[in-house]
A = this chain, B = another copy of it.
């Protein structure tokens, strides 16, 4: 993992991130932790795959090999 990736993830600890998974699932949650495989820990997670049917998942561990992309919130 490049230093930049680590840096971006560290800067976003405690912030809401968008995570897209293989298979099309979209999640939105507060980033609590990560490792070099992009295994992620999110809290207050919502499955936002279907905009009209958001499901609360709360605290989750994501196995990194499912991750397509991670998007931090825009800076204000």
Give the distance in Å from the alpha carbon of A32 to the alpha carbon of B71 in the complex: 14
Per-residue 0/1 for A6-22: is the Cβ within 8 Å of any B Cβ (1 yes, 0 no)?
A: 00110000000010011
Find out whether the CB atom of A5 lies under 8 angstroms from the CB atom of B61: yes
A interface residues, how many (CB within 8 angstroms): 38
Q: Is the CB of B33 within 8 A of A58?
A: no
A22 to B5, CA, bound (A): 21
Q: Compute how far the CA of A9 lies from the CA of B33 in the bound complex, rounded to whole angstroms.
A: 13
CA distance A42 to B74 in the complex (A): 13
Contact A63 B58 (CB under 8 A): no
CA distance A62 to B71 in the complex (A): 9
Identify the A interface with B (CB < 8 A).
1-2, 4-5, 8-9, 18, 21-25, 32-35, 37-39, 41, 45, 57-72, 74
